[in-house]
Amino acid sequence: MISLCVSDLTHEYDERLVFRSVSLEFEGSCLSITGHNGSGKSTLMRILAGLLTPTQGRAEFSCDGMRVARDSLRNMVGLAAPDVGLYGELSARENLAFLSSVRFGRIDSKRIERTLESVGLAERSDDPVNELSSGLRQRACFAAAILHEPPILLLDEPSSNLDDRGVAMLKELIALQKERGMVIIATNDASEAALAQETLRLGVAH
């Protein structure tokens, strides 16, 4: 069982306050984070992924009662966010092969195929990512985030570039992740937020 404990979390960029004293305890399979533009959703996702150290407070995941150390987050968390790009001159398959090499020490072709199929990118998997449409690029980002089948999946504005079929694929992916562990969605889309058991609303930072 995975749980998330956020206590007294504050973050500032230079001297601009993004959010202050955010606290939350969550033990479940799906959490949504909502809030207007600039409320700090993406910043909070980066903190949860271990990419950013908060100015104050803590955000920690626990798995079966054991705290997940920051060094282990790399293997426990998958993040799909607008500011996490793929290598544009490589194809989606080559990007996944690279991620497989750094994560597992070898190219796991079966896992790569399975992942590409699960995001509906098998047919265009050999095209350079730069030549894909924004929706297909978004799917490639999902593939990169779930390749290592992380127990915790963080999705930042996941449906922003997707068509109807893409949204259906995303809902399947979220349902699968709920079985695997935890999914946290930063969104302003009411239908996505409704998939969660709890919602954290980030307000205006003064």
Partner 1 sequence: MKTQSPDSIIARTEPGTLRGLACVLRSAVAVLAKDLRCEFRVKQAISAILLFAVTSCIAVSFTLSAYGGNSPVSATLLWIVVYFSAMSGLSRSFVREEDMRTAALLRLSTSPGSVYLGKLAFNWLLVTALQIVAVPLLIVFLGMNVSGWAEFAGVMLAGGLALSAGATTAAAMVSKAATKGAVFAVICFPLLAPALAASIHGSSLAMDPRAIMSAAGDIRILASYCGTLITASLMLFRFIWED
Is residue 5 involved in binding partner 1 (CB under 8 A)?
no
* Separation of alpha carbons 141 and 138, rounded Å: 5
Is residue 75 involved in binding partner 1 (CB under 8 A)?
yes
Number of CB atoms found within 10 A of residue 149's CB: 14
Site string for partner 1, 167-196 (x = CB under 8 A): ---------x--xxx---------------
Of 10, 24, 60, 103, the residue at the interface with partner 1 (CB under 8 A) is: 103
Q: Provide the minimum distance between the beta carbon of 206 and partner 1 in the complex, in angstroms, as a whole number.
A: 25
Of 9, 31, 48, 79, the residue at the interface with partner 1 (CB under 8 A) is: 79
SS (H, E, C) the chain: CEEEEEEEEEEEECCEEEEEEEEEEEECCEEEEECCCCCCHHHHHHHHCCCCCCCEEEEEEEECCEECCHHHHHHHEEEECCCCCCCCCCEHHHHHHHHHHHHHCCCCHHHHHHHHHHCCCCCCCCCEHHHCCHHHHHHHHHHHHHCCCCCEEEEECCCCCCCHHHHHHHHHHHHHHHHHCEEEEECCCHHHHCCCCEEEECCCCC
77 versus 184: smaller Cβ distance to partner 1: 77
135 versus 151: smaller Cβ distance to partner 1: 151
Contacts with partner 1 in 133-172 (CB under 8 A)? 144, 149, 151
Is residue 71 involved in binding partner 1 (CB under 8 A)?
yes
Is residue 69 involved in binding partner 1 (CB under 8 A)?
yes
Torsions phi, psi for 157 (to 5 deg)? 45, 60
Is residue 86 involved in binding partner 1 (CB under 8 A)?
yes
Q: Of 22-30, 34-42, 58-66, 116-124, which segment contacts partner 1 by CB under 8 A?
A: 58-66
Binding interface with partner 1 (CB under 8 A): 46, 49-53, 63-64, 66, 68-69, 71-72, 74-79, 81, 83-90, 94, 98-99, 101-103, 105, 144, 149, 151, 176, 179-181
